Amino acid sequence: MSYAEIEWNNGIPRSALFNDVYFSESGGAAETEYVFLQQNDLPQRWADLDRFVVAETGFGFGLNFVITANAWLQSSRQGACLHFISIERYPVSPEDIDRLAEQFPELRGLFDALIKQYPPPLPGMHLLEFAEGRIKLYLVFDEIHSALQQITHEVDAWYLDGFAPARNEAMWSQDVFSLIARHSKTGASFATYTASGQVRRGLVQAGFVVQKTAGHGNKRDMLKGQIFEKRSFKTSEPWYLWRPCETAHRQVVVVGAGLAGLSVAWALARRGWHVTVIDKHDSVAAEASGNPAGLLMPRLSQLDDTDSRFYSNAYVYAVNALEKLQNNSDKLFWHQSGSVLLTSADKTSKLSQQYSNINEFVSFQTKQKLSAITGVAVNRDGFEFTQAGWINTQQLCECLAEACGDALTLVSTNVESISRTDDGWKICLDNKEDIQSNFVVFANAASCRSFSQLEWLPIESVRGQLSYVPATDKSHVLKCGISAERYITPEQDGIHVVGASYSAANDSTELDLADHQHNIETLHQVLPGIIDTSVDIRGRVAFRAISKDRVPVVGAVPDRTAFLRDYDDLQHGRISKSYPAATCLPGLFISSGHGSRGLTTCLLSGEMIAAMIAAEPVPVEKQVMDYLNPARFIIRQLKRKRV
Ligand SMILES: Cc1cc2nc3c(=O)[nH]c(=O)nc-3n(C[C@H](O)[C@H](O)[C@H](O)COP(=O)(O)OP(=O)(O)OC[C@H]3O[C@@H](n4cnc5c(N)ncnc54)[C@H](O)[C@@H]3O)c2cc1C
Ligand SMILES: C[S@@+](CC[C@H](N)C(=O)[O-])C[C@H]1O[C@@H](n2cnc3c(N)ncnc32)[C@H](O)[C@@H]1O
């Protein structure tokens, strides 16, 4: 994906690809106000609501978004949230957005906030937040048809803004209209500047009642309409269907005060929910999340697949979230010094093709360049992530707990079991009174398997040992983290953190000399001579939670018994649409299996779980939600019939 080529003419941007203008000469802002806000009856329709969902086809410069966000800030009620989904296949560069923003001094603040968080041109859904979370932008960089298949949101108002239909058929196809109808709430509206007969007929065929009305400026007509009768749609994989339910009890229990649990807590606290986080230790981040330094880095993939979408979207979200958290904290935990990744020559060559032209995200560099970037002699070519960095995970967790403020209660005890009662879930604690809650989130790494509801989940603990290595004359100049088979972070108080060993069949919590030597020797192969290989053993042992497919496990907890009953004959290949929708254990969620990339994945996963619990739009594509869904293991087994 690369940025759109824009031609500027008297302040009006034109797309070189479509040979069409982004805004008419009669005035972009006035046209947006008239066509999209007024004709969707906004802001009147949202005045009394806690939540309103707008979706747009064609984000372009974000002018419609910024004008809508501005109207929302002036007219919505306190505590209400605008969810704005916008789809864009040819992202406009932040430089071009900045150039347009100069024409709108009254909207400068919102444009600046947009540019600051603007994602690199990476496919997938990017979540951006404005005005302390009062506005959420779900920016989907993808082709319209696939993007509409990936949203799970129910929309109140549509802005159809995809260049003239005659110049861009893809944005106005019957399939696109059907998907728009499918994602609409009953009573949802649309507005578009075009009065094309083909668009009118297409929207009518999709189920909308369409009306022609006076256009803006020198345009005679435009279209608007509403959908009142929604057709029923069958989903192709009903076992992954997610149906949120609203609740009046805004209170959740989270098991585990590591990065996964505190990310969920922070996401819920920001929504005004109360969260009780229970951990068997007396302090937060006492296990895997207690490391003094780890690298924030996405997992690169040789394909634009679901895995790379999840990791790159989560990484971009984490970078923005960390900046916000760091700005509000006295502790320095986020060191945005960039990071370097060294892979084998073959992999480097394949990856550099996949990620060419996305230098804002990752760029290929020769070993000479990398030596200059890092400050130390590197003996392989590799990749530089300029927005990445290293994190003191323990302090990040403390900061997340502080950021929750009064919304968080921390309880130190072991959670023994949970069981269903008429009033929700009874949480049985060691040496403390039981707690009752409608919602429970398991964020207790591989220990989630000790609960009967999750004992089937294929997650295991994998031991990892960090080595603390004294800085040398050659190493203390290291400017950023370097990751190869082992990683090293810049020195803090004269010590580098080198990590980490990986041993599944070892549950020892003692430091191991062989692991220590292996850490140091492996690092020595890519960074020869920068650290002293004969130093004494010092370090830390912790355990990662690794799922069978090495992908995090995030979502609602399936009711395994119901799954085995409802999907028993899956291996015979019956048409999947004829199966019933998924049954989940009501109010139970999980965020675990973050493996060796939890710094990248926990924050977005926390936001996902919070959105599911609060019955809000989920900030990842459907394919990502399904990819992380805990039920995937049951479905795979049923398809192979090895249960
Ligand atoms: C050695 C090592 C190096 C790593 N380096 C990196 C890195 O560089 N970059 C990166 O992105 N990731 C790295 N990771 C991974 C990262 O640290 C984890 O993915 C992340 O911290 C996971 O957090 P968590 O909250 O899921 O688990 P944890 O931090 O382990 O938290 C789980 C919590 O649940 C609690 N708990 C368990 N059972 C119960 C119960 N029954 N009742 C109450 N409490 C319970 C535990 O006490 C624990 O505090 C590394 C991991 C290790 C081990
Ligand atoms: C008229 S402009 C939108 C202007 C925008 N709403 C704004 O406020 O700045 C139309 C947009 O649709 C995008 N677009 C065109 N074809 C597309 C497709 N097939 N899928 C997704 N986006 C597409 C274009 O790149 C362009 O940014």
Per-residue pLDDT reduced to its tens digit, 609-636: 999 999 999 999 999 999 999 999 999 9
Q: Tell me: do 67 and 104 sit in the same domain.
A: yes
Which domain range does residue 492 map to? 339-386+460-547
Answer whether residue 326 is part of any domain: no
Cα 446 to averaged position of ligand 2 atoms, centre (Å): 44
pLDDT number for residue 347: 84
The torsion region of residue 302 among left (phi > 0), alpha (psi -120 to 50) and beta comes to: alpha
CA of 132 to the centre of ligand 1 (A): 28
Cα–Cα distance between 441 and 445 in angstroms, integer? 11
Residue 495 and residue 366 share a domain: yes
Residues 501 and 537 occupy one common structural domain: yes
Cα-flanking dihedrals φ and ψ of residue 3, to 5°?
A: -70, 150
Residues 454 and 467 both lie in one domain: no
Dist. CA 76–CA 135, nearest whole Å: 11
Q: What residue owns the CA closest to ligand 1's atom 50?
A: 596
Whichever domain contains 382, its CATH number is 3.30.9.10
CA of 137 to the centre of ligand 2 (A): 16
pLDDT beneath 70: ranges in the chain: 27, 573-574, 576-577, 642-643
**Pick from 233, 249, 278: which residue ends a domain?**
233
Q: Candidates 253, 254, 259, 295: which one to mutate for ligand 1, based on the most atoms within 8 Å of Cβ?
A: 259
Q: Which atom of ligand 1 is nearest to the CA of 463?
A: 53
Considering the domain architecture, whether residues 613 and 511 belong to the same structural domain is answered as no
Residue 313 inside a domain? The answer is: no
Chain segment 229-266, per-residue pLDDT in tens:
888 777 888 999 988 877 878 999 999 999 999 999 99
Same domain, yes or no: 475 and 444: no
Same domain, 375 and 269: no
Choose the final residue of a domain: 233, 262, 295: 233
Q: In 10 A of CB 271, how many CB atoms?
A: 16
Is residue 329 included in any domain, yes or no? no
* Whether residue 123 is found in the same domain as residue 254: no
Q: Which atom of ligand 2 is nearest to the CA of 23?
A: 1
* 504 shares a domain with 428: no
Give domain status of residue 503, yes or no.
yes
pLDDT at position 23 is: 87
If asked whether residues 371 and 465 sit together in one domain, one would say yes
pLDDT in the model for residue 468: 95
**Is the CB of 321 inside a 6 Å radius of any atom of ligand 1?**
no
Pair (620, 525) in one structural domain: no
Q: What is the CATH number of the domain that holds 630?
A: 3.50.50.60
Does ligand 1 have an atom closer than 6 angstroms to the CB of 370?
Answer: no
Buried b (16+ CB within 10 A) or exposed e, 523-555: beebbeebbeeeeeeebbbbbbbbbeeebbbbb
DSSP of 546-601, one letter per residue? EETTSS-EEEEEE-HHHHHHHTTTGGGT--GGGSPPP-EEEEEEEEE--TT-HHHH
Ligand 1, from 394, 489, 594: best to mutate by most atoms within 8 Å of Cβ?
594
Q: What is the total count of domains within the chain?
A: 3
Domain-embedded: residue 305: no
| Rounded distance from Cα 289 to ligand 1 centre (Å) | 4
**Two tokens at 379?**
């003996």
> Can you tell me the distance from the alpha carbon of 81 to that of 271, in angstroms, rounded to the nearest whole number?
9
Give the domain-ending residue among 212, 233, 254.
233
Do 379 and 367 meet the contact criterion of CB atoms below 8 Å apart?
Answer: yes
Query: What's the one-letter identity of residue 491?
Result: E
Domain assignment present for residue 18? The answer is yes
- Is 155 contained in some domain? yes
Ligand 2 centroid – CA 17 distance (Å): 11
**What residues contact 126, with CB distance under 8 A and at least 6 apart?**
119, 138, 139, 140, 141, 313, 316, 317
Cβ < 6 A, ligand 2 pocket: 4, 22, 56, 58-64, 87-90, 143-144, 161-163, 168, 170-171
Q: Are residues 171 and 193 in the same domain?
A: yes
- Residue 298 belongs to a domain: no
Closest Cα to atom 41 of ligand 1: 415
Pocket test for ligand 1, best of 263, 291, 603 (most atoms within 8 A of CB): 291
Give nearest CA residue, ligand 2 atom 4: 60
